[in-house]
Amino acid sequence: MGIVAGLDSSPDFTRIVVCDADTGAVLRQGYAPHPVEAADGAARPSDVDPQAWLLSLGEAAGGGLLEGVQAIGVSAQQNALIPLDAQGNTVRPALVGGDKRAQVAAADLVDALGGREAWAQAVGCVPQAAQPVTKLRWLAKNEPENARRTAVLLQAHDWLVWQLLGRPVRRTTDRGGASGTGYWSAATGSYRPDLVELALGHQTMLPEVIGPSDAAGTTPEGLLISAGTGETMAAAFGLGIGLGDAVVSLGASGSVMAVHPEALADQAGMITSLADATGMHLPVVTTLNAVRTLRGTAELLGLSDLESLSDLAMKSTPGSHGLVLLPYLEGERTPSLPHTAGTLAGLRRESMRPEHLARAAFEGMLCGLADALDVLRGRGVDVRRIFLLGQAAELSAVQAAAPSLFGAQVVVPQPADYAAIGAARQAAWALGVSQGALDPRNPPAWQGAAAQVLDPGDDLAVGQAVRQQFVSVREQTHPGAFRP
């Protein structure tokens, strides 16, 4: 079919990959940081002029990178909210990221609709500080004049697609991006404008949700632009995950998501019910403590990096000589223990060695993520294979313990920008459908990610014993807190 491009506009940079539309082979790449400086020493700003994303995009596409490209897909950071006025101008800088300013607004919204269960039933998720619906409530309370001027709501990938198409009257989004807003339901496939009004004080124009293989439009130069999607959905699409697959992401916090044929409403609010980039669903469960558990343990033991912690942990044995770390260092979402602290149990004279504490940190982190997996499994989600993402996935202690603790085959993909690759695959799908070469129900069958495959094998029984040790301590310490 030719060549296509995918661009990923993350919080910090833009990366572009140019791919063969038939095979997915990456032909060339471009990269540029965002020209954005955080104020007050923050890791990144909470308010960003979206023009910075366009400047970065232009730089990343320099040097003729897009020459010969026939279609482009756009992946972008999730939860960025761009309020526009009636003329299509930005009312204020985009509200991006986790934005802790909106924590009170999130609690207000939960109460205003009648509690967590009401939100889970309405849109498949309970408002968190990062979500666009919560940012709308913050805007109404703190910048009422800007709230009154807001006439149109876009997210980052919506805005970039709209700009690439020359700011047409029609504005579009996709199911994946819409499902994270807090005012679109993946279960019903429709907006809840009443929730926009509840948050902002009045209704607004919302982008049209188009299908996974639909095109958002064509530029005056004839370049087809696909629907676009959020980074999470694009990365899942780039990895090629399907039914039976889950993705465990190891960042400072952790997340577990899996492909499922239907939306999952969770009354406890542990599951965020997102849509994926193919027409399926992508339920997500989050833990607050993943790699931050390892970094804290490394600092406690006087180690300079996670590789040293991993090497030390490998000198211990499964079960850490009875040491169990409940890694709830920042409180926890899964289980819901927002005000608790971590717990170290099983201290005996023979277990009080650095290598056993190091091993307990890895086992505690992975058992916490196994709890998140159990939330999905408990709702009927089939998990036979687990993709493990993040820099910590490369650590030997993680790879040694993960398959037996998760009770499934673990796949560690080769590092790549899977969100940009997923955006390119979406572009190839839309291009193929427009040419009559592809079925709108079936995406192009690109070659899967190069990966290391780890099986639990003979270690499965040992791993499940370690997991049971963790569960016993969790139940003794926080009885009844975890109900998958």
How deeply is 480 buried, as exposed, middle or buried, from its count of CB atoms within 10 A (0-12, 13-18, 19+)? exposed
Assign 14 to helix, strand or coil. strand
Q: Which helix (H) or strand (E) holds 5?
A: strand 3-9
The dihedral through the CA atoms of 182, 279, 268, 156 has a sign that is negative
Q: Residue 128 CA to chain centroid, in angstroms?
A: 14
Whole-prediction pTM: 0.91
Cα dist. 406→230, 363, 375 in Å? 27, 11, 13
- Sequence-distant contacts of 258-265: CB under 8 A, at least 24 apart: 258/282, 258/283, 258/376, 258/381, 258/382, 258/383, 260/376, 260/381, 262/187, 263/124, 263/185, 263/186, 263/187, 264/124, 264/379, 264/381, 265/120, 265/121, 265/124, 265/187
Per-10-residue mean pLDDT of the chain, 484 residues long, equals 94 96 96 74 73 96 96 96 97 85 92 93 90 96 98 98 96 96 95 98 97 96 96 94 95 94 84 93 94 97 97 98 97 92 96 97 98 95 95 96 97 94 98 95 90 93 97 97 89
DSSP state of 346: -
Which pair of tokens denotes residue 422? 């997923």
Q: Whole-angstrom Cα distance, residue 239 to residue 449?
A: 6
Q: Whole-angstrom Cα distance, residue 241 to residue 257?
A: 10
> How many CB atoms within 10 Å of residue 270?
26
Task: Judge contact between 326 and 473, C-beta under 8 A.
Answer: yes
| Residue 129: per-residue pLDDT | 87
| Residue 99: per-residue pLDDT | 67
Sequence-distant (6+) residues with CB within 8 A of 429 are 212, 213, 226, 438, 443, 444
How many CA within 13 A on the CB side of residue 180?
Answer: 28
Q: Whole-angstrom Cα distance, residue 340 to residue 85?
A: 43
| Residue 44: per-residue pLDDT | 60
Owner of token pair 């009154």: 148
Q: Whole-angstrom Cα distance, residue 259 to residue 238?
A: 13
| Residue 401: per-residue pLDDT | 97
